[in-house]
Chain A
Amino acid sequence: MIQSISHDEAQALLAIEALGALTGADRDALLAHVEVCAVCSAQLVQLRDTAAALAESLPAVPLNPDRSAAMRSRLLARAASDLTGRRGDDGGRLPNEPPVKAPTSPVKPLSGEPVRAIGRSPASRGGWLAAAAAVLLAAGILSVLRSTRRDAAVARNELTAVRAQQLRAATEVALRDSLIEQLTGATVRIVDLTGSGPNAPMGWVFWDQNEKWTLLVHDLPALAADRTYQLWLTTGGQRTLSAGTFGTDHRGHAVFRATLSLPRDSLVSASVTLEPAGGAARPSGPIALASK
């Protein structure tokens, strides 16, 4: 049975997992938490990329060009042979190849999120994720080109599928990249929200101290059909502004993104209230979450 850990306990373990140094029950418990926590999932992806970047601190020691060319040819020949022999068998495995175990960064899709999309140009995507997408894009194109030579009709179908896959991948990367940036940017201010009740709902408001707001909530009670949750922001002048309404998924989780311009450092508090469907002009319902 996998042990359950709190969000704070998980936070303390993320870096150790990213360095590949977490084992046993601690690792099982962390990964189980990460599966259901968007904050920890996003942070783990970034920390793993950071850990991998340590490899780039080393002096570059290039392979001997002749030996590298030979290795490259060997790999490609073996891959071509693998493609030929892969129909129904498991050929091509190295003699000492361990059981298949891909490095994982369990990020769950942010399902059920009532998200208002924030436009983002491709040029502003994170460099490394963009590099990954670019490599896959090149790879997909190469694959399509080969298929075209073999069979034009098959290639057309593959092209359609690959383009659709690339579009989905690029969209997902862009959205996730955008979310990560809004959660972890250098100027982002984080406001903790807590609630009361048996499930002790909790949440966080991430503000870029300009106009972008991201709210993550866990364990809010299920909404009746005629009710909605509403996020409120209170400024230094004691103005209370609505940042919008949102619902939750079946677990009471939600990611809500909004655009609302406020002067830097003007936020005093934040809260979430239960309001009639469509929202209210000012807070009128019970408080579900409030900043400390």
Chain B
Amino acid sequence: MSASDEQALGVLYDRWAPLVHSLVLHLLEDAGEAEDVVEETFWQAWRQVSRYDPSRGAVSTWLVTIARSRALDRARSRRRMKEEPLTQLRESDAASVSRVSSASDPHQDAEAADRRAAVLKALCALPAEQREALQLAYFSGLSQTEIADRTGQPLGTVKTRTRLALEKMRVQLTMLREETA
């Protein structure tokens, strides 16, 4: 890919298309539109590969950022965004994630299942109001002001909750990875 070889695009697609698809399908709730966004995402990555700098973040971060941005643009344009993803998340969800994933996708690889379990565990560890702020920002694409309006909380409180939530997630994920390394 770094040398603009189309075969490398296939490598990226095989590795990350399942994650990208799961995200955009969740954001759009429309299988057809989700497939469009997956294709657009990898095409945009192909066209803009020269701008990707591996020292500035993971490949998955780059692809997920492109996909999320495109999906949210579509969702906003039709004003049909999901607003409460995962807010009812329970601790037990993290423990059952491997089983759920296996049932819905028998080819899910062990690494992806482990990472999903780790992220869910970190999410579950957050106070509910911080998790809500994080999810409204990430999965619904709401601004901090919109979240404040939606939750009835002062803007400063929302900013603090969002910051603490993502910071805690970072620390939690780092610790979980070290535990499993």
> Which residue numbers of A lie inside 8 Å of B, CB to CB?
12, 14-16, 18-21, 23, 45-63, 67-68, 71-72, 74-76, 78-80, 82-83, 86, 92-94, 96-97, 100, 102-107, 127-129, 131-133, 135-136, 138-140, 142-144, 146-147, 158, 162, 165, 169, 172-173, 176, 184-186
Contacts and interface: CB of A to CB of B under 8 A. Distances in A.
Contacts of B42: 75
A75 B39 contact: yes
A100 B43 CA distance: 12
Interface in B74-120: 86, 97, 100-101, 104-105, 107-108, 112, 115-116, 119-120
6 contacts: A47-B167, A61-B105, A72-B17, A107-B55, A143-B4, A176-B55
A235 B3 CA distance: 52
Contacts of A16: 137, 144, 159, 162-163
B78 to A, nearest CB: 14
Interface of B: 1-15, 17-19, 21-23, 25-26, 35, 38-40, 42-44, 46-48, 51-52, 54-62, 64-66, 68-69, 86, 97, 100-101, 104-105, 107-108, 112, 115-116, 119-120, 123, 134-135, 137-139, 141-144, 159, 162-163, 165-167, 169-171, 173-175, 177-178, 181
Contact of A162 (B3, B19, B169): B3
Contacts of A162: 2-3
A79 B9 contact: yes
Contacts of B4: 83, 86, 143
The 9 A-B pairs of least Cβ separation, nearest first, read A139-B8, A143-B3, A79-B6, A102-B51, A143-B5, A139-B1, A52-B61, A103-B65, A15-B166
A165 B53 CA distance: 12
A125 B147 CA distance: 37
Given A15-B166, A139-B2, 6 more contacts: A63-B35, A75-B10, A76-B7, A102-B52, A128-B61, A132-B57
Contact of A185 (B3, B167, B174): B174
B54 to A, nearest CB: 5
B119 A15 contact: no
Nearest to B12: A135
Contacts of B171: 186
A75 B5 CA distance: 12
Contact of A158 (B3, B10, B104, B175): B3
Residues of B contacting A: mostly: helix
A158 to B, nearest CB: 7
Residues of A contacting B: mostly: helix
Contact of A57 (B43, B86, B108): B86
Nearest to B10: A76
Nearest to B16: A135
Contacts of B52: 102
Nearest to B161: A15
Contact of B115 (A53, A133, A186): A53
Given A92-B47, A94-B43, A19 B166 contact: yes
Looking at B8, B97, B173, B178, which has the most chain A CB atoms within 10 Å of its CB? B8
B37 to A, nearest CB: 11
A49 B162 CA distance: 15
A57 B69 CA distance: 18
A107 B61 CA distance: 15
B104 A132 contact: no
Contact of A75 (B13, B48, B144): B13
Contacts of A128: 58, 60-61
A15 B163 contact: yes
Contact of A142 (B7, B47, B101): B7
Given A83-B6, A139-B8, A19 B137 contact: yes
